[in-house]
Chain A
Amino acid sequence: GENVEQHPSTLSVQEGDSAVIKCTYSDSASNYFPWYKQELGKGPQLIIDIRSNVGEKKDQRIAVTLNKTAKHFSLHITETQPEDSAVYFCAASPLRAGNMLTFGGGTRLMVKP
């Protein structure tokens, strides 16, 4: 089955700096890659997702890039703010699995004011 590795496990940045989180996946058939943000005591909240027919997607300060050849995808957050502090999860699923997701282990992002 699919296996998703996520790095780093913790990331500390200064407010206003950029943050990058990287994920690799094992199943070359994977074609759906969402990113979720989870705040303490809450369920994961979708922040952006990408499908394999595009290489990059952007939504304001957040962007995701996908390299299908290398089987990795990344989340980029620019101009970080203290409210961006949370745990971020990447996930992947192959076409045959629809939206039954395999998640990475998570990255705890801390934005220092």
Chain B
Amino acid sequence: ETGVTQSPTHLIKTRGQQVTLRCSSQSGHNTVSWYQQALGQGPQFIFQYYREEENGRGNFPPRFSGLQFPNYSSELNVNALELDDSALYLCASSPGTKETQYFGPGTRLLVL
């Protein structure tokens, strides 16, 4: 059984660009949540997908959007990148919306 994987591991973008981050959920997990972790802080909830539908959203602007595919893998898209978007983006999967989440290693995004 493979764990949660994320790609790419690191990414550098410039302000105003768009970025797509990818997450493969753990086998048997139908729920994916995305979190943003700024340096030295705790993760902040962005949104959650359950069976290809958005199930909840945190306090992030609409330029943060997502998608979940039939195999339950997921993408996080960020448009019009800002310097403050520089952070570690974490994906977590779970076998449902109330069960324990398991995190991937994250994608570190640097916006210059």
Contact = CB atoms under 8 A, between A and B. Distances in A.
A45 B103 contact: yes
Contact of A43 (B55, B90, B94, B97): B90
A49 B100 contact: yes
Which among B41, B43, B97, B102 has the highest number of chain A CB atoms within 10 Å? Answer: B43
B45 A101 contact: yes
A100 interface: yes
Given A43-B106, A46-B102, A99 B42 contact: no
Contacts of B90: 43-44
A100 B56 contact: yes
Chain B contact patch, size range = 20 to 34
B100 A104 contact: no
A55 interface: no
A42 interface: yes
Nearest to A36: B103
Interface in B38-56: 40-45, 48, 55-56
A25 interface: no
Interface of A: 1, 4, 6, 32, 34, 36, 41-46, 49, 89, 91, 97-106
17 contacts: A4-B42, A34-B101, A42-B106, A43-B90, A43-B105, A44-B90, A44-B103, A98-B97, A99-B94, A99-B97, A100-B45, A100-B56, A100-B97, A101-B45, A103-B35, A104-B42, A105-B42
